Chains A and B, each alone.
Chain A
């Protein structure tokens, strides 16, 4: 069974078509990169995959289930790490993970066991009882990965997982994820603007632009198709060199606000 099956998926917001009849599949246990310039329709697609938005038309299946009709089953089957941290600053690492466990109906012993396991996995065991506001950006990201994995999801979604992180942390993160992928066969679906990472790590890639998939395949296939040496050059060739200006989104404003009031976002 494929992890993700998308057929002719479309999302329209009044006059604007954000996603226009896209189709792709992600095999079970695959590390899949979903690339695209700003405003291409990436976030909209991910939101539909993660039950946050209803599609306008088309078919969508996650682990064999339909997110619209079987929302809760689908939600149990994936974990997600958002671009902006969604941890509770004033709670401890343990408490953040414990709450997640309760939200996902995990019994107490299982919660405790998973927390211990996962904190060790991301090297945060000694920070178990520290408040999140004392964590650096990299530590927060690692904790979010640990938290997203608590309920043994079959897929983990990562939205720009290494944005703003130092090279050591980035390297560590991908090491964890690849290990997880190899050991437990978890499907990893991620978006990123760091092409070298996608090139190194992704087994298959899809490039979306203006709401349509412009290319998909392995990194080698994309390079061959565009006659370029690096994935980044291939990407630019597929999507053009023009800068995509997006209007300031609500999150941009709030991120600035947060930086002002809470100090460094890192």
Chain B
């Protein structure tokens, strides 16, 4: 049994063992899907946008992955003081292995959340163009998950306590979500929003997801995959580096 595997397994066990957390974290996505989907749907359709729920679903899937992944990464702040992570710091294992195993586990959990939200969206009437492209959708989901788990870990490696968490929540996670094309199409908005969205890695993830699920795509699928993969690798590198610098 390798170290990476047990760290990965640990994240999964923790996820499946807390039923209340599993269900609780679905609350927001369901709310957004239902309230915005059925609330703004008629308006969007009237404005000539088409089926809003179809447009929205990939955005909400992306949202749940973003949040779950970032939280999982940020949990490192807690873990390293009070948790299992502390013991890994004195074990004869490389920091990179620890970070990688944990990130992989966190990303898997976030992707699973994304899948659950996908199933929920099916339940409220969303239909992807074809079920053949679902594996591709999962690739995008996993890339988004990996990117943001690594990003959360990098941030958490620099923070000393949970105080910064509020700042991150409101000034990092929320803007990333709202300015990613998750809730509204990027084209047609102001130039400023367009620029911000194009600098936001989540935009490419959601765009790719949307392209694969309903065939609506803004940047181009290959651009999406390319940029997403490149940024994910960069954040994995950054996350590893920051993690290796942690001092207890």
CB pair B17 A75 closer than 8 Å: no
CB pair B248 A47 closer than 8 Å: yes
Closest beta carbon of chain A to B35's beta carbon, Å: 29
CB pair A254 B78 closer than 8 Å: yes
A238 to B162, alpha carbons, bound, how many Å? Answer: 38
CB pair B88 A82 closer than 8 Å: no
B82 at the interface (CB under 8 A from A): yes
A76 to B91, alpha carbons, bound, how many Å? Answer: 7
Q: Which of A53, A90, A254 has a CB less than 8 Å from the CB of B247? A: A53
Which stretch in B6-14, B23-31, B208-216 binds the other chain?
Answer: B6-14
A72 to B2, alpha carbons, bound, how many Å? Answer: 17
Please indicate the chain B residues that have their CB under 8 angstroms from the CB of A102 in the complex: 1-3, 6
CB pair B84 A75 closer than 8 Å: no
Please indicate the chain B residues that have their CB under 8 angstroms from the CB of A82 in the complex: 86-87
CB pair B84 A87 closer than 8 Å: yes
Q: Is the interface of B mostly helix, strand, loop or mixed?
A: helix
A136 at the interface (CB under 8 A from B): no
CB pair A258 B92 closer than 8 Å: no
Closest beta carbon of chain B to A168's beta carbon, Å: 25
Please indicate the chain B residues that have their CB under 8 angstroms from the CB of A98 in the complex: 6
Q: Which of B18, B81, B248 has a CB less than 8 Å from the CB of A52? A: B248
Chain A: interface size category: 35 or more
CB pair A254 B81 closer than 8 Å: yes
Q: Which of A50, A78, A84 has a CB less than 8 Å from the CB of B82? A: A84
A91 at the interface (CB under 8 A from B): yes
A203 to B206, alpha carbons, bound, how many Å? Answer: 64
A194 at the interface (CB under 8 A from B): no
B45 at the interface (CB under 8 A from A): no
Please indicate the chain B residues that have their CB under 8 angstroms from the CB of A71 in the complex: 92
B120 at the interface (CB under 8 A from A): no
A108 at the interface (CB under 8 A from B): yes
Closest beta carbon of chain A to B142's beta carbon, Å: 24
Q: Give A237-256 interface residues, CB cut-off 8 Å to B.
A: 250-251, 253-254
B83 at the interface (CB under 8 A from A): yes
* Residue of A47, A53, A84, A90 with most chain B CB atoms under a 10 A cut-off: A90
Closest beta carbon of chain B to A121's beta carbon, Å: 19
A58 at the interface (CB under 8 A from B): no
A51 to B94, alpha carbons, bound, how many Å? Answer: 13
Q: Which of B3, B78, B82, B92 has a CB less than 8 Å from the CB of A72? A: B92
A266 at the interface (CB under 8 A from B): no
Closest beta carbon of chain A to B10's beta carbon, Å: 7
A100 to B3, alpha carbons, bound, how many Å? Answer: 10
Please indicate the chain B residues that have their CB under 8 angstroms from the CB of A103 in the complex: 3, 6, 87-88, 91-93
B161 at the interface (CB under 8 A from A): yes
Q: Which of B82, B90, B92 has a CB less than 8 Å from the CB of A105? A: B92
Closest beta carbon of chain B to A101's beta carbon, Å: 9
CB pair B162 A95 closer than 8 Å: no
A53 to B246, alpha carbons, bound, how many Å? Answer: 11
A88 at the interface (CB under 8 A from B): yes
A53 to B248, alpha carbons, bound, how many Å? Answer: 9
CB pair A88 B81 closer than 8 Å: no
In this complex, what residue of B is CB-closest to A77? B92
A56 to B25, alpha carbons, bound, how many Å? Answer: 47
Closest beta carbon of chain A to B198's beta carbon, Å: 38
A86 at the interface (CB under 8 A from B): yes
A91 to B85, alpha carbons, bound, how many Å? Answer: 13
Q: Give B67-115 interface residues, CB cut-off 8 Å to A.
A: 78, 81-93
A73 to B91, alpha carbons, bound, how many Å? Answer: 10
A104 at the interface (CB under 8 A from B): yes
CB pair A90 B91 closer than 8 Å: no
With A88-B10, A91-B13: A100-B161 Cβ-Cβ less than 8 Å = no
In this complex, what residue of B is CB-closest to A51? B90
CB pair A75 B90 closer than 8 Å: yes
Q: Considering the complex of A and B, which 5 residue pairs feature the smallest CB-CB distances, nearest first? A: A72-B92, A103-B91, A75-B92, A86-B86, A88-B84
Please give 7 more A-B residue pairs, beta carbons under 8 A apart, in addition to A89-B83, A90-B18. Answer: A51-B90, A75-B91, A82-B86, A88-B83, A250-B160, A254-B82, A257-B161
Q: Which residues of B contact A (CB under 8 A)?
A: 1-3, 6, 10, 13-14, 17-18, 78, 81-93, 160-162, 247-248
What are 29 residue pairs bridging A and B, where the CB atoms are less than 8 Å apart in the complex? A47-B248, A50-B90, A51-B90, A52-B248, A53-B247, A73-B92, A75-B90, A75-B91, A80-B87, A80-B90, A84-B81, A84-B82, A85-B82, A86-B82, A86-B86, A88-B10, A88-B14, A90-B14, A102-B1, A102-B3, A103-B3, A103-B88, A108-B1, A131-B17, A250-B81, A251-B81, A254-B81, A254-B161, A257-B161
